[in-house]
Amino acid sequence: MSEVIIVPSAREAGILVADLIVGLVRRRADAVLGLATGSTPLPVYEALVPHAALLRDVRGFALDEYVGLEAGHPESYRSVIDREVVAPLGLDPARIRVPGDDGGPLETAGERYEADLEAAGGVDLQLLGIGATGHIGFNEPGSSFASLTRVKTLTERTRRDNARFFASPDDVPLHCITQGLGTILRARHLVLLAFGAGKAEAVAAAVEGPLTASHPGSAIQLHPRATVVVDEEAATAL
């Protein structure tokens, strides 16, 4: 693990991380960005808008996706990425890959995703949020640190947390497809963001807790270049 940066607000975190991305893209115009969904990375995407012209040639790989939503469902992560990242930054949607979005059979979607990721040369900078259960991507407690992209069952807690995005809690899918912890650890730079008191315990366990599959976020301690950017509330248990 490399560093923890405490910033006054999510907005400032967004600007700081957008600057990291801009620096990367100035060095390598076709950099591969690891995209996260959820509310946490939104300030980063907003702060990238003034730099959109620079980002034309970047490629993107999303961390995870629900299984079972109809194509074009507004809460599918493909739709969220198209809405929150592709459209405001004027990116070519074909340069962004989301697990399971290639139309092939679900059973082998993970292998195809890993192959595409490898063919792109791997992720240069991976954005990460963290769930209250300590999940990163959709790697819930119990996920192997060596796991690769695969279909998983969502925990009840995560389904409940994500119900706010759906008309009814029953509409939240039961399954997802997610990059594994092993996949995430292959990225060259991890940037984990967390805001608000509700994330304080998960952040402390990820940064300072024991390395354990019971807290998937702790896997970031294995990475030689992990940057954790939190606001003061999310830093209170550190």
Q: Which burial class, exposed, middle or buried, applies to 17 when counting CB atoms under 10 A from its CB (0-12, 13-18, 19+)?
A: buried
- Tell me the closest approach of the beta carbon of residue 197 to ligand GLP, in angstroms: 12
Q: Between residues 173 and 209, which has the closer beta carbon with respect to ligand GLP?
A: 173
Q: How far is the CB of 37 from ligand GLP (least distance, A)?
A: 6
> Of 65 and 114, which has the nearer Cβ to ligand GLP?
65
Comparing every residue's Cβ against ligand GLP, the nearest one is 129
Please state, as a whole number, how many other Cβ atoms lie within 10 Å of the Cβ of residue 214. Answer: 13
Least Å distance, CB 131 to ligand GLP, is 4
Q: Which chain residues interact with ligand GLP by CB under 6 A?
A: 36-40, 63-64, 129-131, 137-138, 158, 162
Q: CB of 145 within 8 A of CB of 213? A: yes
Other residues' Cβ atoms within 10 Å of the Cβ of residue 169:
12
Task: Return the number of the residue (40 or 209) whose C-beta is nearest ligand GLP.
Answer: 40
Residue type, 190: L
181 contacts 139 by C-beta, under 8 angstroms: yes
Choose between 58 and 63: whose C-beta lies nearer to ligand GLP: 63
Minimum CB distance to ligand GLP, residue 194 (Å)? 8
- Taking the least distance from each CB to ligand GLP, the nearer of 21 and 126 is 126
Please state the closest distance from residue 68 (CB atom) to ligand GLP, in A: 15
Report in angstroms how near the CB of residue 77 gets to ligand GLP at its nearest: 8
**DSSP state at residue 45:** H
- In sequence order, the 6+-apart residues with CB closer than 8 A to the CB of 190 are 126, 128, 184, 220, 223, 225, 226, 227
The answer to whether residues 130 and 202 touch, using CB atoms and an 8 Å cutoff, is yes
Q: Which of 193, 204, 237 is nearest to 13 (CA)?
A: 193
How many C-beta neighbours within 10 Å does residue 168 have?
Answer: 7
Which lies closer to ligand GLP via its Cβ, residue 38 or residue 209? 38
CA pair distance 190, 128, nearest whole angstrom: 7
CB of 39 to ligand GLP, least distance (A): 4
Measured from the CB atom, the residue of 130 and 220 that comes closer to ligand GLP is 130
